[in-house]
């Protein structure tokens, strides 16, 4: 199994420019790095074989190894704010379309409530039913569940209200469409002595926060599915108000935040249309401009009816930028030939190695040859981290030979958090829209 992996911050670089390399060494104290020029990368025994020529560089030498973590999973992060810290009674609600209910706890809207962190979290519980978790300053925890598992890929109103004075909790789980012999609707109430406290953490949508370190939040309980129009009130709405939240006469009295995912859909900003402007950031590129709960089927172009495409589809295995720290930086010397280069990293005993490829460009604005080669980096990215060697159905039959799995194939099969190719599917079966190095 690979224990030494990495990536660069750029796909191509010209003389005089810098390129940084991020490396994770799992259980290795030291590793060596060098720049090589790739001459022939095909290891087919009928060909000339693999060839990479060494290039003298300033980065050549030994480095201390360190493990760098992949934090996959998409969600929305909203910075803490006095309007969030001052909550006593509250209501949280959204329209949701879960794709993997029953696959573990999944956070919908959370302000704490995970890893004994003070606060609250509106979730799907382990069985796929709506639940609300409350955690006080002492770690005291209570969770109320609807007890009715949801169907996959169907829309539901998911709402919870907490009255701080009485300790009364109300859960409303209502399907947008009802089916015969399906028991998935619930209104549940209970009283508790727990009073959720504020932990000062960001509010998150589609994930909970397990801890916060120097890299930021480490999230858990990622939600798979779509969320539309999440909202937060600073009071406990009554039952009639909860059931009418998405009706024509819906109450907005006491609204703290209402995130309108149909706005700025080309960006990673989650716009709050409420009074405090509690805008969030979409982390790890969830899929935007998705059909919402109110999609009528009359318009297939989201730009012409954005209000019907106000859902975001979140995945536990979305990944945009691993966010690792750089281990070394190479400034490409003037006069360096164009071509395909790699940072070759290897353990001292040679048992573990990786090649981190990049294109060496000619000087910018200068023609150095009569023929230009356009490197298809978009195609390379589309196939990056491809899992077809393991996941592909009838791959051996299609290729007419046995599959020989390389260490890299085995590594990304075991470590799905390292990202997916556009020919893969997410854990919930939906297509992959973005591929990242």
Give me the pLDDT at residue 398, please: 82
Do 82 and 226 fall within a single domain?
yes
Mean pLDDT of the chain, nearest integer = 95
DSSP 86: T
Tokens of 393: 């159905």
What's the CATH number where 357 sits? Answer: 2.60.40.1930
Note whether 243 and 304 are same-domain residues. Answer: yes
Same domain for 141 and 97: yes
Length of the chain (residues): 437
The whole-number pLDDT of residue 433 equals: 94
Contact in structure between 231 and 255 (CB atoms under 8 Å): yes
Residues 385 and 432 in one domain: yes
Backbone torsions φ then ψ of 395, nearest 5 degrees:
-60, -40
Query: Under DSSP, is residue 387 helix (H, G, I), strand (E, B) or coil?
Result: coil
Confidence label for 65 from pLDDT (cuts 50, 70 and 90): very high
Strand partners, 30: 64
- Interacting residues of 427 by C-beta distance below 8 A, sequence separation 6+: 100, 224, 315, 316, 317, 416
Q: Are the beta carbons of 192 and 211 closer than 8 angstroms?
A: no
Task: Give a yes or no: residue 350 inside a domain.
Answer: yes
Q: Residue 167: inside a domain, yes or no?
A: yes
Q: What is the mean pLDDT of residues 274-295?
A: 98
Residues 206 and 270 in one domain: yes
Question: What value does the mean pLDDT take over residues 158-182?
Answer: 97
- Strands 269-272 and 106-111, sheet pairing: unpaired
- More reliable by pLDDT, 344 or 383: 344
Residue 319 domain flag: no
Q: Both ends of the chain: CA-CA distance in Å?
A: 19
Rounded distance between C-alpha atoms, residue 339 and residue 418, angstroms = 27
pLDDT in tens, 217-274: 999 999 999 999 999 999 999 999 999 999 988 989 999 999 999 999 999 999 999 9
Kindly report the CATH number assigned to the domain that includes residue 178.
2.60.120.200
Number of other residues whose CB lies within 10 A of the CB of residue 211: 12
Stronger pLDDT, 301 or 409, i.e. the higher one: 301
pLDDT at 408 over 80: yes
11-29 tens-digit pLDDT: 999 999 999 999 999 999 9
**Statement to judge: residues 83 and 138 lie in one domain:** yes
Query: Is residue 419 assigned to a domain?
Result: yes
Alpha carbons within 13 A on the beta-carbon side of 306: 9
**Strands annotated E in 261-324:** 269-272, 280-283, 287-290, 311-314
Are residue 79 and residue 64 in the same domain, yes or no? no
Residue 323 resides in a domain: no
What DSSP element (H or E) covers 106? strand 106-111
pLDDT of residue 409: 87
C-alpha 322/C-alpha 327 separation (Å) is: 14
Considering the domain architecture, whether residues 147 and 233 belong to the same structural domain is answered as yes
Q: Are residues 95 and 230 in the same domain?
A: yes
CA proximity to 426, closest of 226, 176, 259, 244:
226
Q: What does pTM read for this prediction?
A: 0.95
Which of the two residues, 102 and 115, has the higher pLDDT score?
A: 102
Q: Is the pLDDT of residue 437 over 80?
A: no
Centroid of chain to Cα 287: 10
pLDDT band for position 83 (50/70/90)?
A: very high
Question: φ and ψ at 48, to 5 degrees?
Answer: -75, -10
**Is 321 within the bounds of a domain?**
no
Residue pair 230/91 in contact (Cβ under 8 Å)? The answer is no
Give me the domain span that covers residue 202.
75-314
d(CA 282, CA 294): 22
pLDDT value of position 17: 98
Lowest mean pLDDT among 148-157, 159-168, 362-371: 362-371
Q: Is there a single domain that holds both residue 304 and residue 156?
A: yes
381 pLDDT above the threshold of 80:
yes
Residue 320 lies in a domain: no
Distance from C-alpha of 143 to C-alpha of 13, rounded to nearest angstrom: 53
As a whole number of angstroms, the distance between CA 257 and CA 239 comes to: 20
Domain boundary (314, 340, 360) is at: 314
| pLDDT computed for residue 29 by the predictor | 95
Measured over the CA atoms of residue 143, residue 106, residue 151 and residue 230, the dihedral's sign is positive
The position carrying tokens 């509250």 is 90
pLDDT the model gives residue 388: 84
Q: What's the DSSP call for residue 311?
A: E
Tally of structural domains, the chain = 3
User: Rounded to whole angstroms, how far apart are CA atoms 401 and 53?
Assistant: 31
- pLDDT > 70 in the chain, percent: 100
Q: Are residues 348 and 259 in the same domain?
A: no
Q: Provide the pLDDT for residue 389.
A: 82
Query: Are 347 and 279 in a shared domain?
Result: no
Q: Is 411 exposed, middle or buried (0-12, 13-18, 19+ CB in 10 A)?
A: middle
Alpha-carbon distances of 244 from 179, 237, 247, 297, 307, rounded to whole Å? 21, 10, 5, 23, 19
Contact by Cβ (8 Å): 273, 303:
no
**Residue 42 confidence (pLDDT) above 90:** no
């Amino acid at each position: 199994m690979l224990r030494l992996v990495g990536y660069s911050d750029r796909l191509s670089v010209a003389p005089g420019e810098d390129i940084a390399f991020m490396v994770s060494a799992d259980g290795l104290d030291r590793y060596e790095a060098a720049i090589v020029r790739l001459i022939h990368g095909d290891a087919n025994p009928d060909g000339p074989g693999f060839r990479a020529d060494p290039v003298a560089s300033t980065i050549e030498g030994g480095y201390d190894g360190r493990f760098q973590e992949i934090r996959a999973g998409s969600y929305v992060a909203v910075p803490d704010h006095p309007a969030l810290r001052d909550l006593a009674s509250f209501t949280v609600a959204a329209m949701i379309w879960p794709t993997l209910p029953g696959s573990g706890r999944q956070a919908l809207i959370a302000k704490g409530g995970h890893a004994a962190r003070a606060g609250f979290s509106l979730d799907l519980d382990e069985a796929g039913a709506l639940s609300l978790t409350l955690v006080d300053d002492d770690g005291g925890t209570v969770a109320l569940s609807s007890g009715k598992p949801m169907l996959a890929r169907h829309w539901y109103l998911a709402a919870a209200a907490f009255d701080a004075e009485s300790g009364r909790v109300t859960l409303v789980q209502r399907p947008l469409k009802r089916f015969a012999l399906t028991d998935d609707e619930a209104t549940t109430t209970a009283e508790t002595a727990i009073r959720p406290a504020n932990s000062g953490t960001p509010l998150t949508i589609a994930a909970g926060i397990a801890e916060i370190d120097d890299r930021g939040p480490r999230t858990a309980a990622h939600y798979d599915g779509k969320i539309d129009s999440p909202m937060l009130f600073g009071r406990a709405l009554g039952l009639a108000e909860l059931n009418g939240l998405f009706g024509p006469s819906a109450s907005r009295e006491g609204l703290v935040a209402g995130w309108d995912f149909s706005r700025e859909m080309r960006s990673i900003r989650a716009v709050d249309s409420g009074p405090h402007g509690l805008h969030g950031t979409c982390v790890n590129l969830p899929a935007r401009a998705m059909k919402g709960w109110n999609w009528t089927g009359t318009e297939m172009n989201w730009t012409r009816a954005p209000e019907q495409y106000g859902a975001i589809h979140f995945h536990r295995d979305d990944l945009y930028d691993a966010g690792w720290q750089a281990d070394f930086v190479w400034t490409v010397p003037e006069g360096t030939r164009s071509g395909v280069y790699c940072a070759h990293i290897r353990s001292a005993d040679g048992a573990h190695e990786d090649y981190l490829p990049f294109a060496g460009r000619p000087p910018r604005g200068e023609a150095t040859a009569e023929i230009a080669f356009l490197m298809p980096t978009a195609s390379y990215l589309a196939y990056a981290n491809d899992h077809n060697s393991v996941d592909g159905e009838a791959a051996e039959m299609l290729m007419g030979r046995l599959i020989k799995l390389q260490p890299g194939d085995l590594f990304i099969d075991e470590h799905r958090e390292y990202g997916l190719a556009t020919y893969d599917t997410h854990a919930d079966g939906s297509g992959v829209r973005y591929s990242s190095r």
